[in-house]
Structures are given as structure tokens and as C-alpha cells.
Structure 1
């Protein structure tokens, strides 16, 4: 670029910058100015859509999942055994709303939290029972779900009959 073009560009940028920051200039004012609001239609207020509180929505959706039953499993003692789930990246535990599961959850909640286990609540009559379990283990993620499909898939290799239990990549234990 030549020196003259550079100077012209610099002058143009300076003028454009000054105009962009300049105050508005009144060209004519008769003293009878009117607001533009009379000529521009106001937007119509939109009715507010019903938005349920997130907690109420979650409770409503959860409530539809109950009762949860897994007739193939009952509360009881589980003998430790080797797991066939070497590819399992996150431990899973099975619990119900029975007294044994509640005691187990209280006793091993810290261990379950430490290993990052996710809980499948496989037996609960109502949302209230599920929420009681969640209150026993507030730092754990619990999901209400029937364990029937899980038991059927494991039946050929393992003989699961009881819960509560923890399933990890290496072991199944209580």
C-alpha cells in the first residue's frame, strides 16, 4: 500500500470512530414531538405457561414407576463369588425397601460411595419407600427398576437368589 492510501484509511477510521461515538443531532424540533409508542403496536402479553416445580415434576415421574418388584430375588445372605463382568466400569448394587437392605445400606453406604456404585432399587411398594432409602444414602445415586431382566441374563452363569448385594468387575458380594 502506498503512503497516501494508508493515510486515507487512517483518516477514514478516525472519522468513522468519531461519528460512532458522537451524540445524536436534532435536525428539527417543532416543540410538538410525540412518542413513537402511539405508532408502534405494543407486543401482546403472552400467557405464562404452567411450569411445575422441578421437584414436583421428578416426583410425579418417579411415582409412576412404583411398585417395583423382582420376584426372582428375596432379601437374604449372599455368598461372595467371582464376577464375570470384567468390563463393568462402574459397580452396581441391588437393594430393596426391606429391613435387611436398610441395615446393609447404612452399614456399607460409605464403601458404596467410595467405589462410585449406582444403586438399583429392585423392590419398593411406593415412592415414599424409595425416598426413605434415598434418605439413608443421600450421596448415592438410586434408580427404581425391576431386576428381573438382570437376573434372567445372569441366570446361566450365576445363581443369584438374594439381595442386597454389590456387583463389581471382580466380585459379587454382600
Structure 2
């Protein structure tokens, strides 16, 4: 049950990111009644006047983003079992995250990973992290709950359906 709660919040973040980009993929349609009325209230509010939207768990004006339980450092990789999890990476506004992102950007793009900027002071610093990430989507989101559930103390880190790795 714990695993379900951990990844439900990640999937909600990825869903919000996907919904904002209009990337709906229908895997199978067996007819029936539409479920749209159940999801209409979840649509993110359209943003105005922002060239770099901050869609996700936190919206524009929600800075600073702080994850007090996480700091830059070494992460010991380990296996997990989270089938269906979209790859997610956690980074902050620090030199270790910058180096990690620049070194792994191609791999992260290949995985279509979504980034969470978990320690960032301002929208300007978020824009800098997004520059490091290239074409990867990066959302400002605190991650203390996720860190506690996964036993994480440090970042940058990549979460995939099968592993936690740095």
C-alpha cells in the first residue's frame, strides 16, 4: 500500500505535466460512457503572462521550493518494483545537480523522464535549471514526503520502474 501512495503522487505529477502538453494517448477504447466529468475539475488553470510555465504540484509564485529532508550528495542505488512509473528525476539548484543533469541529459531524454526541481529559490533559478535540462520538462515540487517514503536523503537521483539510481 505504501508503494501505491508513493507512486500515486508521482503519477499525478506526470499526469498534470502530460495534460498540460495535450499528450493524450488512447490505449484501448471499448466504448461506454465518458469519464470526462470526473476529470474536468483536475484541469490545471491556464497560466497568463508567463513564458516559462510552472505547471505541476506547485504553481507560479510558489517560491522558494524547499525539501528540507534532501540535500545534494551521493545516492546508493537500489532496485524497486514500480511497474508503470514514468521515469522521474530529482534535482536542485546546485553544482552537483547541474553536473549530473549535463552528464545524463541524453539518457534522461531517451527515458522521457520528468524532472522535479526540489530545492530552488526563485522562478529565475528554475529557468536556469531548465536550461541545464535542455528539452526535459522540470517542475518545481517539494519532495520531503517522497524522500521519507523512499528513504532518500540526497539528490540528484533518477527513479525508474525498476531502480533508484544516481
Structure 1 length as normaliser, TM-score? 0.61
The reply to whether residue 99 of structure 1 matches residue 104 of structure 2 is: no
Note if contact 2:88-2:116 (Cα within 8 Å) is conserved in structure 1: yes
Report deviation, 1:54. Answer: 5.0
- Cross-structure match for 2:125: 129
| 8 Å CA contact retained: 2:109, 2:136 | yes
> 1:144 and 2:140 equivalent?
yes
* Residue of structure 1 in register with 2:157 after alignment: 165
TM-score (norm 2): 0.64
Counterpart position of 2:66: 69
- Identify unmatched segments of 5+ residues in structure 2: 1-47
Q: Distance in 2 between matches of 1:84 and 1:65?
A: 32
The number of residues matched between the two structures is 116
Q: Which runs of 5+ in 1 are unaligned?
A: 1-51
Q: CA RMSD in A?
A: 1.9
- Superposed CA deviations along residues 17-43 of structure 1, whole A, max 9, x for unmatched, are xxxxxxxxxxxxxxxxxxxxxxxxxxx
State which structure, 1 or 2, has the greater radius of gyration over its C-alpha atoms.
1
The verdict on how the C-alpha distance between 1:135 and 1:79 changes in structure 2, with shifts beyond 3 A counting, is same
Once the two structures are TM-superposed, the CA of residue 117 in structure 1 deviates from its matched residue by 0.3
Q: 2:99 & 2:88 partners in 1: Cα distance? A: 18
